[in-house]
Amino acid sequence: MRLLIQRVSEASVTIDGKIKSSIGKGLLVFLGIEDNDNEEDIDFLCKKTVNLRIFDDENGVMNKSVLETDGEILVISQFTLHASTKKGNRPSYIRAAKPDISVPLYVKFCEKLIHTLGKSIKTGYFGADMKVALINDGPVTIWIDSKNRE
């Protein structure tokens, strides 16, 4: 399971010309799922996401988490996080899980993130053609792969 996390001043996702979800200050989380992902990956990434100290404290040092700043979270499914570009110029997405595996894991990830954060989150719509708008604050962008925990 892979996350691309961006600290944002604001972010939104639009589907079919209508804004589905939007947040103010917080985290925009792109989630990529592969076949061998499981609940251990979800637990690890949810804890890491809400406790990641990438928000400024009173001294301007990145020392606070989204929990401590009462920030919001927007989660967007993104199978392209598992693109392989080793051969040729057309990415292969063979490592990305098919919907029968990824949809239930996406739902479990969002549910666990709500529980870990202690409040609701916003989401896109799995599999939809989404237009994501954001103002990256910093910029701060963090890549986390649950298979690289050690």
Give, as one character, the DSSP assignment of residue 101.
H
Spatial separation of the C-alpha atoms in residues 12 and 86, rounded to whole Å: 32
Burial group, residue 72, by CB count within 10 angstroms (0-12, 13-18, 19+): buried
Evaluated on CA atoms 61, 109, 38, 43, the torsion sign reads positive
Q: Check if the beta carbon of residue 102 is closer than 8 Å to that of residue 33.
A: yes
Active-site residue among 14, 69, 80, 141?
A: 80
Active site residue 80: yes
Task: Report the Cα 82 to chain-centroid distance in Å.
Answer: 14
Residue 22, strand partner residues: 12
Instruction: Give me 3's structure tokens.
Output: 């996350």
- As annotated, the active-site residues are 80
